Amino acid sequence: MDLGLKDKVILVTGGAKGIGRGIVDALAREGALPIIIGRNERDNEQARQELMNAGYQVATVLAELTRPEACEMAVREAVEKYGRIDGLVNNAGVNDNVSLAEGTYASFMDSLHKSLVHYYLMAHFALPELKKNGGSILNIGSKVAETGQGGTSGYAASNGARNALTREWAVELLPHQVRVNAIIVAECWTPLYEKWLASLPDGDEKLETITRNIPLGRRMTTSQEIADMAVFLLSPRSSHTTGQLIHVDGGYVHLDRGI
């Protein structure tokens, strides 16, 4: 199926690794021009080279998104170099364990800057182009907003706000034909997740416990499965879909009765 994404310029924050990289790969395969926005130049360049070597178009912008001026610069650079923005994927963030008991005002605010504030800033600065082109915004969120996790107040607050902003922006941008949706991720296999499990003394047991609680197939979601939904939501094929929080999670959040 042709998703109508050929040559569309789409920004992907945190697009060099994990879920973001999966989305970048899927966009590239559809003929879009994904622009990886991230703070690690080596990771950005490695992703770019791998995709270019496979025959796909891709670009990168180096930016530390916790700095508001860097968000503005990243959008400006993309427009100056590529002439337009057709879509934005807000993906970058970190589950940083800023807890209610042990956190501080400073650590809580820092957590919000890592996982929430740049969602707003990237959308704000990209908005003129998105309005001009009838573009689309996709926010990547987490089950933590709905289920809680414990010990991660900053990340939970950020994800609750991501969900709220998805609905708020969808309403605000209706007159401009700019669609806004979110994918809610639960247990998705990424290099970061693999690294975390490897750091545990009982990593294999922990993985078994996690997958046992995922209703569909008793397995973790793959980044490819997130990416497949992402490219659909960014494409004209989902032209009447906006304001939706779509769970790609094997039923983890809503189908516990099926376990």
Print pLDDT tens along the chain (259 aa): 799 999 999 999 999 999 999 999 999 999 999 999 999 999 999 999 999 999 999 999 999 999 999 999 999 999 999 999 999 999 999 999 999 999 999 999 999 999 999 999 999 999 999 999 999 999 999 999 999 999 999 999 999 999 999 999 999 999 999 999 999 999 999 888 888 888 989 988 989 999 999 999 999 999 999 999 999 999 999 999 999 999 999 999 998 655 5
Q: Identify whether the C-beta of residue 115 lies closer than 8 Å to the C-beta of residue 121.
A: no
Measure the CA–CA gap between 233 and 227, rounded to whole angstroms.
Answer: 10
DSSP for residue 242: -
Q: Identify whether the C-beta of residue 118 lies closer than 8 Å to the C-beta of residue 90.
A: yes
Q: Identify whether the C-beta of residue 94 lies closer than 8 Å to the C-beta of residue 115.
A: yes
Measure the CA–CA gap between 234 and 220, rounded to whole angstroms.
Answer: 24
Which entry of 56, 82, 105, 155 is annotated as an active-site residue?
155
Q: Identify whether the C-beta of residue 26 lies closer than 8 Å to the C-beta of residue 224.
A: yes
The tokens describing 180, both together, are 């806004």
pLDDT for position 15: 97
Residue type, 85: I
* Phi/psi-derived region of residue 217, left when phi > 0, alpha when psi is between -120 and 50, beta in every other case: left
pLDDT for position 259: 54
DSSP for residue 113: I
Give the bridge partners for 137, in sequence order. Answer: 88, 180
pLDDT for position 257: 56
The tokens describing 243, both together, are 């304001």
Per the annotation, the verdict on 82 as an active-site residue is no
CB atoms within 10 A of CB 55: 7
Measure the CA–CA gap between 186 and 218, rounded to whole angstroms.
Answer: 13
pLDDT for position 143: 96
Q: Identify whether the C-beta of residue 226 lies closer than 8 Å to the C-beta of residue 23.
A: yes
- Cβ contacts of residue 46 below 8 Å, gap of 6+? 16
3 state SS of 36: strand
Structural domains of the chain, ranges and CATH numbers in brackets: 9-247 (3.40.50.720)
Measure the CA–CA gap between 227 and 222, rounded to whole angstroms.
Answer: 9
